[in-house]
Structure 1
Amino acid sequence: MLGVTDYGAFVIAFLLLLAIPGPGNFALITATGKGGIKGGLAATCGVILGDQVLMWLAVAGVATLLAAYPAAFHVVQWAGAAYLAWLGLRMLLSKPGGAPRTTRMDSGQYLRQTMMITLLNPKAIMFYMAFFPLFVDPVHHQGMITFAFMAVTVAALTLLYGLVAVLLTHHLAERMRASPKMANLLERLAGACLVGFGIKLAAMR
Protein backbone atom coordinates (compact mmCIF):
# COMPACT_ATOMS: atom_id res chain seq x y z
CA MET A 1 0.00 0.00 0.00
CA LEU A 2 1.81 3.11 -1.32
CA GLY A 3 5.14 1.44 -0.68
CA VAL A 4 4.33 0.28 2.86
CA THR A 5 4.75 -3.43 3.43
CA ASP A 6 2.36 -5.17 5.85
CA TYR A 7 0.34 -2.05 6.62
CA GLY A 8 -1.74 -3.87 9.24
CA ALA A 9 1.37 -4.80 11.22
CA PHE A 10 2.57 -1.20 10.97
CA VAL A 11 -0.69 0.07 12.49
CA ILE A 12 -0.72 -2.52 15.30
CA ALA A 13 2.95 -1.96 16.14
CA PHE A 14 2.51 1.79 16.42
CA LEU A 15 -0.64 1.50 18.55
CA LEU A 16 1.25 -0.76 20.95
CA LEU A 17 4.09 1.76 21.10
CA LEU A 18 1.61 4.55 21.88
CA ALA A 19 0.28 2.59 24.85
CA ILE A 20 3.73 2.24 26.46
CA PRO A 21 3.90 4.57 29.50
CA GLY A 22 6.08 7.58 28.83
CA PRO A 23 6.33 11.32 29.45
CA GLY A 24 3.94 12.09 26.60
CA ASN A 25 1.25 9.83 28.06
CA PHE A 26 1.62 11.32 31.53
CA ALA A 27 1.48 14.86 30.12
CA LEU A 28 -1.67 14.00 28.17
CA ILE A 29 -3.35 12.51 31.24
CA THR A 30 -2.36 15.49 33.38
CA ALA A 31 -3.64 17.96 30.78
CA THR A 32 -6.99 16.15 30.69
CA GLY A 33 -7.25 16.10 34.48
CA LYS A 34 -6.57 19.82 34.69
CA GLY A 35 -8.07 21.16 31.48
CA GLY A 36 -10.82 18.67 30.74
CA ILE A 37 -11.47 17.22 27.29
CA LYS A 38 -10.42 20.48 25.62
CA GLY A 39 -7.07 20.47 27.42
CA GLY A 40 -6.53 16.78 26.68
CA LEU A 41 -7.25 17.16 22.97
CA ALA A 42 -4.92 20.17 22.82
CA ALA A 43 -2.21 18.04 24.46
CA THR A 44 -2.87 15.29 21.91
CA CYS A 45 -2.40 17.79 19.08
CA GLY A 46 0.88 18.83 20.70
CA VAL A 47 2.10 15.24 20.64
CA ILE A 48 1.05 14.91 16.98
CA LEU A 49 2.86 18.11 15.97
CA GLY A 50 6.00 17.11 17.83
CA ASP A 51 5.96 13.65 16.29
CA GLN A 52 5.52 15.05 12.79
CA VAL A 53 8.54 17.31 13.21
CA LEU A 54 10.65 14.43 14.52
CA MET A 55 9.52 12.07 11.76
CA TRP A 56 10.46 14.46 9.00
CA LEU A 57 13.75 15.30 10.69
CA ALA A 58 14.46 11.56 10.78
CA VAL A 59 13.57 11.26 7.09
CA ALA A 60 15.90 14.18 6.36
CA GLY A 61 18.75 12.37 8.07
CA VAL A 62 19.00 14.38 11.27
CA ALA A 63 19.43 11.12 13.18
CA THR A 64 22.62 10.49 11.23
CA LEU A 65 23.81 14.01 12.03
CA LEU A 66 23.15 13.53 15.75
CA ALA A 67 25.00 10.21 15.68
CA ALA A 68 27.95 11.84 13.91
CA TYR A 69 28.07 14.73 16.39
CA PRO A 70 27.45 13.31 19.88
CA ALA A 71 27.81 16.77 21.46
CA ALA A 72 24.70 17.99 19.63
CA PHE A 73 22.82 14.87 20.66
CA HIS A 74 23.72 15.34 24.34
CA VAL A 75 22.69 19.02 24.32
CA VAL A 76 19.19 18.06 23.17
CA GLN A 77 19.18 15.12 25.57
CA TRP A 78 20.00 17.27 28.59
CA ALA A 79 17.55 19.98 27.54
CA GLY A 80 14.77 17.40 27.38
CA ALA A 81 15.74 15.95 30.75
CA ALA A 82 15.76 19.39 32.38
CA TYR A 83 12.36 20.28 30.93
CA LEU A 84 10.74 17.07 32.14
CA ALA A 85 12.28 17.45 35.60
CA TRP A 86 11.08 21.06 35.82
CA LEU A 87 7.50 20.09 34.94
CA GLY A 88 7.61 17.20 37.41
CA LEU A 89 8.95 19.34 40.24
CA ARG A 90 6.19 21.90 39.73
CA MET A 91 3.65 19.13 40.19
CA LEU A 92 5.47 17.61 43.17
CA LEU A 93 5.60 20.97 44.95
CA SER A 94 1.93 21.81 44.41
CA LYS A 95 0.13 22.57 47.68
CA PRO A 96 -2.49 20.08 48.95
CA GLY A 97 -5.99 21.46 48.60
CA GLY A 98 -4.74 24.37 46.53
CA ALA A 99 -5.37 25.00 42.88
CA PRO A 100 -2.21 24.07 40.98
CA ARG A 101 -0.84 26.68 38.65
CA THR A 102 -1.49 24.38 35.71
CA THR A 103 -5.28 24.79 36.18
CA ARG A 104 -5.02 28.29 34.69
CA MET A 105 -3.36 27.06 31.53
CA ASP A 106 -5.25 27.51 28.29
CA SER A 107 -5.43 24.98 25.46
CA GLY A 108 -2.50 26.57 23.64
CA GLN A 109 -0.27 26.08 26.66
CA TYR A 110 -1.17 22.39 26.92
CA LEU A 111 -0.41 22.00 23.22
CA ARG A 112 2.96 23.72 23.51
CA GLN A 113 3.89 21.79 26.64
CA THR A 114 3.33 18.33 25.15
CA MET A 115 4.92 19.38 21.87
CA MET A 116 8.08 20.46 23.72
CA ILE A 117 8.12 17.20 25.72
CA THR A 118 7.97 15.29 22.44
CA LEU A 119 10.53 17.42 20.61
CA LEU A 120 13.09 17.34 23.41
CA ASN A 121 13.51 13.60 23.15
CA PRO A 122 16.36 12.93 20.70
CA LYS A 123 15.86 9.18 21.03
CA ALA A 124 12.53 9.62 19.22
CA ILE A 125 14.35 10.70 16.06
CA MET A 126 16.49 7.56 16.24
CA PHE A 127 13.34 5.52 16.81
CA TYR A 128 11.64 6.77 13.65
CA MET A 129 14.86 6.31 11.69
CA ALA A 130 14.88 2.65 12.76
CA PHE A 131 11.11 2.04 12.77
CA PHE A 132 10.13 3.32 9.32
CA PRO A 133 12.52 1.10 7.30
CA LEU A 134 10.95 -1.99 8.88
CA PHE A 135 7.75 -1.32 6.93
CA VAL A 136 9.07 0.19 3.71
CA ASP A 137 8.81 -2.04 0.64
CA PRO A 138 12.16 -1.63 -1.18
CA VAL A 139 10.57 -2.72 -4.46
CA HIS A 140 7.43 -0.56 -4.43
CA HIS A 141 8.79 2.34 -2.41
CA GLN A 142 7.51 5.69 -3.76
CA GLY A 143 9.92 8.05 -2.05
CA MET A 144 8.35 10.98 -0.21
CA ILE A 145 4.83 9.70 -0.98
CA THR A 146 5.51 6.57 1.07
CA PHE A 147 6.91 8.54 4.01
CA ALA A 148 4.04 11.04 3.82
CA PHE A 149 1.53 8.19 3.91
CA MET A 150 3.24 6.74 6.97
CA ALA A 151 3.34 10.17 8.64
CA VAL A 152 -0.40 10.70 8.04
CA THR A 153 -1.10 7.23 9.43
CA VAL A 154 0.94 7.99 12.57
CA ALA A 155 -0.95 11.28 13.06
CA ALA A 156 -4.35 9.58 12.63
CA LEU A 157 -3.47 6.77 15.04
CA THR A 158 -2.15 9.23 17.63
CA LEU A 159 -5.35 11.28 17.35
CA LEU A 160 -7.50 8.16 17.79
CA TYR A 161 -5.43 6.94 20.74
CA GLY A 162 -5.44 10.41 22.29
CA LEU A 163 -9.22 10.73 21.95
CA VAL A 164 -9.80 7.40 23.72
CA ALA A 165 -7.26 8.23 26.45
CA VAL A 166 -8.74 11.70 26.98
CA LEU A 167 -12.32 10.43 27.29
CA LEU A 168 -11.31 7.70 29.76
CA THR A 169 -9.16 10.08 31.79
CA HIS A 170 -11.89 12.72 31.86
CA HIS A 171 -14.43 10.16 33.10
CA LEU A 172 -12.09 9.11 35.91
CA ALA A 173 -11.16 12.72 36.70
CA GLU A 174 -14.80 13.63 37.24
CA ARG A 175 -14.98 11.02 39.99
CA MET A 176 -11.73 12.19 41.52
CA ARG A 177 -12.76 15.85 41.79
CA ALA A 178 -14.80 15.02 44.88
CA SER A 179 -11.56 14.02 46.64
CA PRO A 180 -9.02 16.89 46.48
CA LYS A 181 -6.47 14.95 48.56
CA MET A 182 -6.55 12.00 46.18
CA ALA A 183 -6.33 14.32 43.17
CA ASN A 184 -3.28 16.01 44.70
CA LEU A 185 -1.71 12.62 45.42
CA LEU A 186 -2.18 11.58 41.78
CA GLU A 187 -0.71 14.88 40.62
CA ARG A 188 2.36 14.33 42.78
CA LEU A 189 2.65 10.77 41.46
CA ALA A 190 2.54 12.04 37.88
CA GLY A 191 5.13 14.68 38.81
CA ALA A 192 7.42 12.03 40.29
CA CYS A 193 7.08 9.99 37.09
CA LEU A 194 8.05 13.00 34.95
CA VAL A 195 11.08 13.66 37.14
CA GLY A 196 11.97 9.98 36.81
CA PHE A 197 11.70 10.15 33.02
CA GLY A 198 13.92 13.24 33.07
CA ILE A 199 16.58 11.43 35.11
CA LYS A 200 16.35 8.40 32.84
CA LEU A 201 16.74 10.57 29.74
CA ALA A 202 19.75 12.35 31.23
CA ALA A 203 21.37 9.03 32.15
CA MET A 204 21.04 7.50 28.66
CA ARG A 205 24.25 7.05 26.69
Structure 2
Amino acid sequence: MSIFFHTLGITDVWQLIAATIVFLMLPGAGTFCILSSASKNGLRAGFSTVAGVMMGDMVLMFLAAIGVAALLHANPLVFKAVQYVGAIYLAYLGFKLLREKKQESSAVGVETIPATETTLKIEEWRRGFFVTLMNPKAIIFYMAFFPLFIDPTMHRGSLTFLTMGMIISSCTLVYGTMLTLVGNAAAKSLARHRRIAAFATKAAGLFLIAFGIKLTTS
Protein backbone atom coordinates (compact mmCIF):
# COMPACT_ATOMS: atom_id res chain seq x y z
CA MET A 1 0.00 0.00 0.00
CA SER A 2 2.88 2.36 0.76
CA ILE A 3 4.10 1.99 -2.84
CA PHE A 4 0.70 2.99 -4.19
CA PHE A 5 0.52 6.15 -2.08
CA HIS A 6 4.11 7.01 -2.94
CA THR A 7 3.09 7.17 -6.59
CA LEU A 8 0.71 9.94 -5.49
CA GLY A 9 3.55 11.85 -3.81
CA ILE A 10 3.00 10.67 -0.22
CA THR A 11 6.29 9.45 1.22
CA ASP A 12 5.11 7.24 4.09
CA VAL A 13 1.36 6.73 4.54
CA TRP A 14 1.78 4.79 7.82
CA GLN A 15 3.72 7.62 9.41
CA LEU A 16 1.04 10.01 8.18
CA ILE A 17 -1.67 7.89 9.82
CA ALA A 18 0.31 7.58 13.07
CA ALA A 19 0.99 11.32 13.24
CA THR A 20 -2.68 12.07 12.55
CA ILE A 21 -3.83 9.76 15.34
CA VAL A 22 -1.43 11.40 17.80
CA PHE A 23 -2.73 14.83 16.77
CA LEU A 24 -6.36 13.72 17.19
CA MET A 25 -5.68 12.32 20.66
CA LEU A 26 -4.42 15.67 21.95
CA PRO A 27 -7.17 17.20 24.15
CA GLY A 28 -9.05 19.88 22.26
CA ALA A 29 -12.41 21.56 21.82
CA GLY A 30 -13.40 19.24 18.94
CA THR A 31 -12.80 16.13 21.04
CA PHE A 32 -14.79 17.55 23.92
CA CYS A 33 -17.66 18.65 21.66
CA ILE A 34 -18.08 15.08 20.40
CA LEU A 35 -18.00 13.65 23.91
CA SER A 36 -20.47 16.16 25.34
CA SER A 37 -22.85 15.83 22.39
CA ALA A 38 -22.94 12.03 22.60
CA SER A 39 -23.34 12.09 26.38
CA LYS A 40 -26.15 14.65 26.41
CA ASN A 41 -28.18 13.76 23.33
CA GLY A 42 -27.29 10.21 22.32
CA LEU A 43 -25.43 8.47 19.54
CA ARG A 44 -27.13 10.15 16.60
CA ALA A 45 -26.30 13.61 17.93
CA GLY A 46 -22.74 12.47 18.59
CA PHE A 47 -22.28 11.26 15.03
CA SER A 48 -23.75 14.54 13.75
CA THR A 49 -21.05 16.37 15.69
CA VAL A 50 -18.40 14.06 14.25
CA ALA A 51 -19.66 14.94 10.76
CA GLY A 52 -19.42 18.63 11.60
CA VAL A 53 -15.87 18.26 12.92
CA MET A 54 -14.86 16.37 9.78
CA MET A 55 -16.35 19.04 7.52
CA GLY A 56 -14.58 21.75 9.50
CA ASP A 57 -11.29 19.89 9.10
CA MET A 58 -11.86 19.58 5.35
CA VAL A 59 -12.36 23.33 5.07
CA LEU A 60 -9.21 24.02 7.09
CA MET A 61 -7.18 21.58 5.01
CA PHE A 62 -8.45 23.21 1.82
CA LEU A 63 -7.55 26.67 3.08
CA ALA A 64 -4.11 25.46 4.11
CA ALA A 65 -3.58 23.86 0.71
CA ILE A 66 -4.32 27.06 -1.18
CA GLY A 67 -2.01 29.12 1.00
CA VAL A 68 -4.35 30.87 3.41
CA ALA A 69 -2.05 29.76 6.23
CA ALA A 70 0.72 31.87 4.75
CA LEU A 71 -1.65 34.87 4.66
CA LEU A 72 -2.59 34.46 8.30
CA HIS A 73 1.02 33.97 9.31
CA ALA A 74 2.12 37.08 7.42
CA ASN A 75 -0.68 39.22 8.90
CA PRO A 76 -0.72 38.93 12.71
CA LEU A 77 -3.77 41.20 13.02
CA VAL A 78 -5.86 38.94 10.78
CA PHE A 79 -4.68 35.88 12.66
CA LYS A 80 -5.51 37.49 16.00
CA ALA A 81 -8.95 38.58 14.77
CA VAL A 82 -9.84 35.00 13.77
CA GLN A 83 -8.56 33.81 17.15
CA TYR A 84 -10.88 36.19 18.98
CA VAL A 85 -13.88 35.13 16.90
CA GLY A 86 -13.15 31.51 17.78
CA ALA A 87 -12.67 32.36 21.45
CA ILE A 88 -16.00 34.20 21.61
CA TYR A 89 -17.84 31.26 20.05
CA LEU A 90 -16.24 28.73 22.41
CA ALA A 91 -17.01 30.93 25.41
CA TYR A 92 -20.62 31.23 24.21
CA LEU A 93 -20.94 27.42 24.11
CA GLY A 94 -19.35 27.19 27.54
CA PHE A 95 -21.72 29.72 29.11
CA LYS A 96 -24.68 27.86 27.61
CA LEU A 97 -23.56 24.70 29.41
CA LEU A 98 -23.01 26.57 32.68
CA ARG A 99 -26.54 27.98 32.56
CA GLU A 100 -28.25 24.66 31.90
CA LYS A 101 -30.85 23.67 34.47
CA LYS A 102 -30.42 20.65 36.71
CA GLN A 103 -33.25 18.71 35.13
CA GLU A 104 -31.61 19.09 31.75
CA SER A 105 -28.32 17.79 33.12
CA SER A 106 -30.03 14.78 34.67
CA ALA A 107 -31.27 13.74 31.27
CA VAL A 108 -27.82 13.11 29.81
CA GLY A 109 -27.27 9.78 28.21
CA VAL A 110 -30.87 9.21 27.20
CA GLU A 111 -30.79 7.66 23.79
CA THR A 112 -34.23 8.95 22.83
CA ILE A 113 -33.95 12.05 20.67
CA PRO A 114 -36.56 14.80 21.14
CA ALA A 115 -39.32 15.36 18.62
CA THR A 116 -37.18 17.95 16.85
CA GLU A 117 -34.63 15.32 15.88
CA THR A 118 -33.66 16.95 12.58
CA THR A 119 -33.17 20.32 14.27
CA LEU A 120 -31.00 18.73 16.95
CA LYS A 121 -28.83 16.96 14.37
CA ILE A 122 -28.31 20.22 12.47
CA GLU A 123 -27.47 22.07 15.69
CA GLU A 124 -24.93 19.45 16.76
CA TRP A 125 -23.41 19.34 13.27
CA ARG A 126 -23.11 23.12 13.27
CA ARG A 127 -21.51 23.11 16.71
CA GLY A 128 -18.86 20.60 15.67
CA PHE A 129 -18.26 22.45 12.40
CA PHE A 130 -17.74 25.90 13.90
CA VAL A 131 -15.73 24.74 16.92
CA THR A 132 -13.30 23.14 14.45
CA LEU A 133 -13.40 25.98 11.96
CA MET A 134 -12.77 28.68 14.55
CA ASN A 135 -9.31 27.39 15.39
CA PRO A 136 -6.97 29.28 13.04
CA LYS A 137 -3.95 27.50 14.47
CA ALA A 138 -5.18 24.34 12.75
CA ILE A 139 -4.62 26.00 9.38
CA ILE A 140 -1.02 26.75 10.32
CA PHE A 141 -0.66 23.19 11.56
CA TYR A 142 -1.85 21.69 8.28
CA MET A 143 0.38 24.06 6.33
CA ALA A 144 3.38 22.72 8.26
CA PHE A 145 2.08 19.16 8.45
CA PHE A 146 1.49 18.42 4.77
CA PRO A 147 5.07 18.98 3.50
CA LEU A 148 6.44 16.44 5.98
CA PHE A 149 4.87 13.61 3.99
CA ILE A 150 5.18 14.88 0.43
CA ASP A 151 7.83 13.83 -2.07
CA PRO A 152 8.48 16.93 -4.24
CA THR A 153 9.55 14.76 -7.17
CA MET A 154 6.33 12.71 -7.09
CA HIS A 155 3.91 15.41 -6.03
CA ARG A 156 0.71 15.57 -8.11
CA GLY A 157 -0.70 18.85 -6.91
CA SER A 158 -4.32 18.83 -5.79
CA LEU A 159 -4.57 15.04 -6.10
CA THR A 160 -1.86 14.61 -3.46
CA PHE A 161 -3.54 17.04 -1.08
CA LEU A 162 -6.93 15.43 -1.71
CA THR A 163 -5.54 11.98 -0.90
CA MET A 164 -3.92 13.22 2.29
CA GLY A 165 -7.16 14.92 3.25
CA MET A 166 -9.09 11.69 2.77
CA ILE A 167 -6.61 9.80 4.94
CA ILE A 168 -6.88 12.37 7.73
CA SER A 169 -10.69 12.43 7.46
CA SER A 170 -10.81 8.63 7.70
CA CYS A 171 -8.73 8.74 10.89
CA THR A 172 -11.06 11.41 12.27
CA LEU A 173 -14.10 9.27 11.50
CA VAL A 174 -12.67 6.25 13.33
CA TYR A 175 -11.55 8.30 16.31
CA GLY A 176 -14.80 10.30 16.40
CA THR A 177 -16.82 7.07 16.36
CA MET A 178 -14.85 5.81 19.34
CA LEU A 179 -15.42 9.06 21.23
CA THR A 180 -19.14 8.95 20.47
CA LEU A 181 -19.55 5.39 21.73
CA VAL A 182 -17.46 6.05 24.84
CA GLY A 183 -19.22 9.34 25.59
CA ASN A 184 -22.68 7.84 25.26
CA ALA A 185 -21.83 4.81 27.39
CA ALA A 186 -20.30 6.98 30.11
CA ALA A 187 -23.34 9.25 30.10
CA LYS A 188 -25.70 6.35 30.76
CA SER A 189 -23.78 5.67 33.96
CA LEU A 190 -23.72 9.35 34.91
CA ALA A 191 -27.48 9.58 34.39
CA ARG A 192 -27.96 7.51 37.55
CA HIS A 193 -26.12 10.13 39.59
CA ARG A 194 -27.63 13.56 39.05
CA ARG A 195 -25.04 15.49 40.99
CA ILE A 196 -22.19 13.92 39.04
CA ALA A 197 -24.01 14.57 35.75
CA ALA A 198 -24.62 18.20 36.71
CA PHE A 199 -20.97 18.61 37.70
CA ALA A 200 -19.85 17.09 34.38
CA THR A 201 -21.99 19.59 32.48
CA LYS A 202 -20.55 22.53 34.42
CA ALA A 203 -17.03 21.19 33.89
CA ALA A 204 -17.77 21.01 30.17
CA GLY A 205 -18.73 24.68 30.15
CA LEU A 206 -15.61 25.71 32.06
CA PHE A 207 -13.43 23.67 29.71
CA LEU A 208 -14.80 25.40 26.60
CA ILE A 209 -14.41 28.84 28.17
CA ALA A 210 -10.83 28.04 29.23
CA PHE A 211 -10.00 26.68 25.78
CA GLY A 212 -11.32 29.88 24.20
CA ILE A 213 -9.15 31.99 26.51
CA LYS A 214 -6.13 29.83 25.76
CA LEU A 215 -6.73 30.31 22.04
CA THR A 216 -6.13 34.05 22.36
CA THR A 217 -3.24 33.97 24.82
CA SER A 218 -1.01 31.10 23.70
Residue identity in the other structure for 1:5: T
Aligned to 1:113: 127
Q: How many residues align?
A: 203
Q: Paired residue for 1:75, among 75, 81, 105?
A: 81
2:105 is equivalent to residue 91 of structure 1: no
Contiguous gaps of at least 5 residues in structure 1: none
Aligned to 1:53: 59
Residues 58-117 of structure 1: per-residue CA shift (max 9 Å, x gap)? 00000111122222111111000111111111212223x2215x9966011000011101
Say whether the 8 Å CA contact 2:10–2:160 is kept in structure 1.
Answer: yes
How far apart are residue 173 of structure 1 and its match? 1.1
2:38 is equivalent to residue 24 of structure 1: no
How far apart are residue 180 of structure 1 and its match? 1.7
Q: State how far apart, in whole Å, the 2-side matches of 1:116 and 1:139 are.
A: 36
Q: State how far apart, in whole Å, the 1-side matches of 2:186 and 2:79 are.
A: 39
Following superposition of structure 1 onto structure 2, how do residues 28-177 of structure 1 map, counting pairs within 5 Å?
Answer: 28-95=34-101, 97-99=102-104, 106-177=120-191
Aligned to 1:182: 196
Which runs of at least 4 in structure 1 moved beyond 3 Å after TM superposition?
A: 102-105
Q: State how far apart, in whole Å, the 2-side matches of 1:117 and 1:88 are.
A: 11
Residues 17-72 of structure 1: per-residue CA shift (max 9 Å, x gap)? 11111111111111101111101100000000000000000000001111222221
Scaled by the length of structure 2, the TM-score of the pair is 0.89
Say whether the 8 Å CA contact 2:39–2:185 is kept in structure 1.
Answer: no
> What's the RMSD between the two structures over aligned residues?
1.7
Q: State how far apart, in whole Å, the 2-side matches of 1:98 and 1:37 are.
A: 20
Residue identity in the other structure for 2:38: T
How far apart are residue 143 of structure 1 and its match? 1.0
Q: State how far apart, in whole Å, the 2-side matches of 1:139 and 1:111 are.
A: 39
Q: State how far apart, in whole Å, the 1-side matches of 2:98 and 2:120 are.
A: 21
Residues 136-190 of structure 1: per-residue CA shift (max 9 Å, x gap)? 1112111111100001111111111111111111111111111121111011111
Other structure's SS at 2:11 match: coil
Q: State how far apart, in whole Å, the 2-side matches of 1:169 and 1:144 are.
A: 36
Other structure's SS at 2:42 match: helix
Residue identity in the other structure for 2:28: G
Q: State how far apart, in whole Å, the 1-side matches of 2:68 and 2:100 are.
A: 38
Residue identity in the other structure for 2:31: N
Other structure's SS at 1:191 match: helix
Scaled by the length of structure 1, the TM-score of the pair is 0.94
Say whether the 8 Å CA contact 2:97–2:201 is kept in structure 1.
Answer: yes
